[in-house]
Chain A
Amino acid sequence: MNKHEFEKKLRSIRRAERGLTPDPAWVLRTRASLMTQISNSASASPVSFAKRFRESFRPFGAPIRLLVLIRRQALAVFAIFGVVAGGSIMSVSAADNALPGDLLYPVKLAAEQTRLALTKDQTEKLKLKTEFVGRRTQEIKDIAALKVPQRQERLNEAVEIVKRDLDTVKTQLVQVSAQAPVTQAAEAAKLVDQQSNALVSTLKDVKATLPDNAKTKVTEAEIAAVNTGVKAVQVLIDTQANPETQGLVSHAELVQSINQKMQGLQDNVSEAAQKLGISVLVATSTRVQTGSTVSTSTQVAVLAPENAASSTPVAQIINAQQALAQTSQLIQENKLDLASDKLVESGKAVVTAEQVTDLTAAVASVNASSSTSGVSTQIPVSTSTASVIVNVTSTSVISGGVSSTTDIIVTSTQPLP
């Protein structure tokens, strides 16, 4: 018998063996008889506790034996866990540096959402979200530094995300201030304020590197950040009266924060005005009247071309500037809560002004390009001047009841460049 035959025989034996089954009737008979025999042989006395204790240590108790018994299963489970968890941990950590528009960016956002979902405490949630806003800030910075053709689209996406996140932060801040203990709310609000200031400053830096047509989107994010910061300041103002928050944030710090925001918005107003080709002049005068009454008046003068003087953007800029002027006065009067309201108002006006300006510019460029192929039309440029005087709101009162009037004079003296 050669090797081949030998193997053939082995296979035939295996095959025959597989086909061999005991008679089912015999199996049942033997089972029954075995059961009877073991019933007779087993003692009726119950197993002692000591034996049970010893036995429980025999197969399952001793860790090494148990490990030997289950090593294969344990290894398999570990391997599966390793592949699943290891894979996801790796991809999440790889996604850590992803930017909007990247393939792994949704993974990064999902990981953040998971962290948020796993956090129960409202205040902690808010702090976490604020930390994520910090990340968004860095992302915008990174995208602005990119030298890729889709930079603008990706930047827009990043701005949209940061706006959404800031909205969430604002909503959460309202919830925390209503539900959480006052000290926690104040701490969280302070953090949000700091983060929003950092965001505004980053966005200003980013804006400096961008072409004019790309700036509006960033301004939107900037205003959203200011609004969130203002909300935080409002919470801080509300909590300041509470004795528990003493020492957490001083009045001076609040004033400084509002001033910082005001300065930021002032820059935005100037930019928007520059875009429109107008100049904004602000004059504030303070008059101390007899006794304790102080009257402050602010004049806002806008120099604009005639055709632009009554347009929506200019009107919005006037509104913005006026709100800023009022903020300044309210700060002096120590009415920080009203001042913060005015800041929000000013921010809204700036955004509207910029958006309308962009829209107008886009329409103008479409008109200009269509005219090249057809009838030539000239965009009218007026050289005449116009003067618009807007009388607005009454302001002031520190301790008396005298009010002053802020006059806003809009005068256009220069032609459009």
Chain B
Amino acid sequence: MTNLFDQYLLFRIRTRKDKQAFAKIYDRYVNAIYRFVVLKLPSRELAEDVTAETFLRCWQSIQQNKEISNLRAFLYKIARNLVVDQYRRSEPTVHLSVTFSEDGASSLVETDVSDHDQSRGLIEARADIQLILDRIARLKEDYRDVLTLRLVDGLGFSDIGKILEKSTGNVRVIYHRAMKALDQLESA
């Protein structure tokens, strides 16, 4: 039903130039995309920029009449590419965890209590992700991508397939092989 509604909104944008339909798409996905990127980027500001940029790119793609069969997966795909771009642009020597901690500490000073809790959670989660990423870093790139999208971002196989441009069945196979490889890595 979600996809059907998304397709309806896209249809409205394409045929009526309905900006409110795009506003609806933004309202539906802004939180999810923000969560998706905030754990992968060193600062909240960067995450906010990437989120805004994701929607702008989406609008441009719609204007260019690109084929969008699954809007949700399409947005994740844009966001993921933007995150990758961010890392490519950033200094390779800067260690992620260090940057996270610094950011967390600096934000503590100027935010309220709930923000404080959120920031602490953010720092911990980022540290955890780093641990997991370290753990699966030795795996093949395909395995890493599927595991991250599945385990960290909690996406469905069909969405992961759309993001990585693979079939759902293929993603499923890769995921199971990656889990097996992870176990073997651990036992070795």
Contacts and interface: CB of A to CB of B under 8 A. Distances in A.
Contact of B15 (A13, A19, A55): A55
A13 B30 contact: no
B139 to A, nearest CB: 13
A62 to B, nearest CB: 12
B124 A12 contact: yes
A349 B19 CA distance: 86
Contacts of A6: 132, 135
Given A13-B39, A22-B48, A47-B14, A2 B31 contact: no
Contacts of B17: 42, 46-47
Contact of A20 (B16, B60, B118): B118
Interface in A21-43: 21-23, 26-27, 30-31, 33-35, 37-39, 41-42
Contacts of B96: none
A15 B120 CA distance: 13
A253 interface: no
A59 B8 CA distance: 8
Contacts of A73: 1, 4
B151 to A, nearest CB: 5
A13 B35 contact: no
A69 B71 CA distance: 12
Contact of B152 (A10, A18, A37): A10
A2 B186 contact: yes
A47 B15 contact: yes
Contacts of A15: 121
A121 interface: no
Given A27-B30, A47-B17, A35 B125 contact: no
B146 interface: no
Given A37-B56, A47-B14, A69 B4 contact: yes
B51 interface: yes
B128 A30 contact: no
B36 to A, nearest CB: 9
A12 B131 CA distance: 12
A58 interface: yes
Contacts of A60: 7, 11
A3 B136 CA distance: 12
Interface string A56-68: 1011100000000
Contacts of A72: 1
A66 to B, nearest CB: 9
A38 B16 CA distance: 14
B53 to A, nearest CB: 10
Contacts of A18: 35
A329 to B, nearest CB: 80
A30 B38 CA distance: 16
Please provide the 5 A-B residue pairs with the shortest distance between their CB atoms, ordered closest to farther.
A16-B125, A59-B7, A22-B34, A16-B121, A9-B128
24 contacts: A1-B135, A3-B183, A9-B131, A10-B152, A12-B128, A13-B39, A13-B129, A16-B39, A16-B121, A21-B35, A22-B30, A26-B48, A30-B55, A31-B30, A34-B26, A34-B59, A35-B23, A37-B59, A38-B59, A41-B59, A51-B15, A59-B8, A60-B7, A60-B11
